[in-house]
Structure 1
Amino acid sequence: MSRHIFLLVDAHALIYRAYFALPNLTDTEGHLVNAAYGFTRMFLTAISHFEPEYSAVCFDHKGKTLRKKQYEAYKAQRAKMPDDLIPQIALVKELVDALNVPRFELEGYEADDLIGTINRKVEHLDNSLLTVIVTGDQDMFQLVDNDTHIWMPARGRQQGDMEYDQVLVKKKMEIKPVQIVDFKALSGDASDNIPGIKGIGKKTATKLIKRFGNLEKIYEFLKEQPEGDDLIKGALLNRLKEGKESAFLSQDLARISTKVPIDFKLEDCRVTAYDKTQTIQLLNKLGFKSLIKLLPTDAFENSVQEALF
Structure 2
Amino acid sequence: MNYFLLIDGHALIYRAYHAFPDLTAPDGRLVNAVYGFSRIMLTALRNFDPEYAAVAFDHHAPTFRHQLDETYKAQREDMPQELVDQLEPIKQVVEALNIPQFELAGYEADDLIGTLARQAEKLVNRRKLDLSVVIVTGDKDSLQLVNDVVHVWMPARGKKQVAAEYDRAAVVKKMGVAPGQVVDLKALMGDSSDNIPGVKGIGAKTAAVLLQAFGNLDRLYKVVDGLDDDGKLPPRVGPSPDRLSRSPDRLSAPTDRLSAPQRSALKPAVVSKLCAGREAAYQSQQLAAIVTDVPIKLDLEMCRVTAYHKDRVLELFDRLGFMSLVKLLPPDTFETELQEALF
The question of 1:29 aligning with 2:27 is answered yes
Alpha-carbon distance in structure 2 between the residues aligned to 1:292 and 1:224 = 63
Q: Structure 1 runs of 4+ off > 3 angstroms?
A: 298-301, 303-306
Alpha-carbon distance in structure 2 between the residues aligned to 1:237 and 1:298 = 59
Q: Report the Cα offset of residue 272 of structure 1.
A: 3.1
Match among 38, 41, 49 for residue 40 of structure 1: 38
Q: Report the Cα offset of residue 257 of structure 1.
A: 0.5
Match among 101, 104, 111 for residue 102 of structure 2: 104
Match among 304, 312, 320 for residue 270 of structure 1: 304
Match among 322, 325, 335 for residue 291 of structure 1: 325
Deviations 1:250-270 (A, max 9, x none): 001000000101133222212
Deviations 1:127-164 (A, max 9, x none): 33210010011111111110011111111121121111
Provide the residue aligned with 1:170 in structure 2. Answer: 172
Kindly provide the amino acid, as one letter, of the partner of residue 20 in structure 1: H
In structure 1, the gaps of 5 or more residues are none
The question of 1:81 aligning with 2:115 is answered no
Paired residues of 1:131 and 1:147 also in contact (CA < 8 A): yes
Provide the residue aligned with 1:280 in structure 2. Answer: 314
Match among 204, 207, 210 for residue 205 of structure 1: 207
Paired residues of 1:53 and 1:304 also in contact (CA < 8 A): no
Provide the residue aligned with 1:57 in structure 2. Answer: 55
Deviations 1:31-60 (A, max 9, x none): 100000000001111111111111100000
TM-score, length-scaled by structure 1: 0.94
| Change over 3 Å in CA distance of 1:123–1:303 after alignment to 2 | farther
Q: Report the Cα offset of residue 303 of structure 1.
A: 6.7
Q: Report the Cα offset of residue 300 of structure 1.
A: 9.3
Larger Rg: 1 or 2?
Answer: 2
Q: Report the Cα offset of residue 274 of structure 1.
A: 1.2
DSSP-derived class of the 2:224 partner: helix
| Change over 3 Å in CA distance of 1:215–1:301 after alignment to 2 | farther
DSSP-derived class of the 2:50 partner: coil
How many pairs are equivalent? 304
Alpha-carbon distance in structure 2 between the residues aligned to 1:260 and 1:118 = 9
Match among 205, 215, 223 for residue 221 of structure 1: 223
Please identify, of 164-173 and 294-303, the stretch whose mean Cα deviation from structure 2 is larger. 294-303
| Change over 3 Å in CA distance of 1:62–1:301 after alignment to 2 | farther
Match among 82, 89, 92 for residue 91 of structure 1: 89
Paired residues of 2:308 and 2:333 also in contact (CA < 8 A): no
Task: List aligned pairs for 1:124-143, cutoff 5 A.
Answer: 124-127=122-125, 128=129, 129-143=131-145
Paired residues of 2:213 and 2:265 also in contact (CA < 8 A): no
Provide the residue aligned with 2:186 in structure 1. Answer: 184
Alpha-carbon distance in structure 2 between the residues aligned to 1:80 and 1:98 = 28
Deviations 1:216-239 (A, max 9, x none): 110111232151743323222121
Deviations 1:166-211 (A, max 9, x none): 1111111111111110011001000000010111111111110111
Provide the residue aligned with 1:15 in structure 2. Answer: 13
Kindly provide the amino acid, as one letter, of the partner of residue 40 in structure 1: S
Aligned-residue RMSD, C-alpha: 1.7
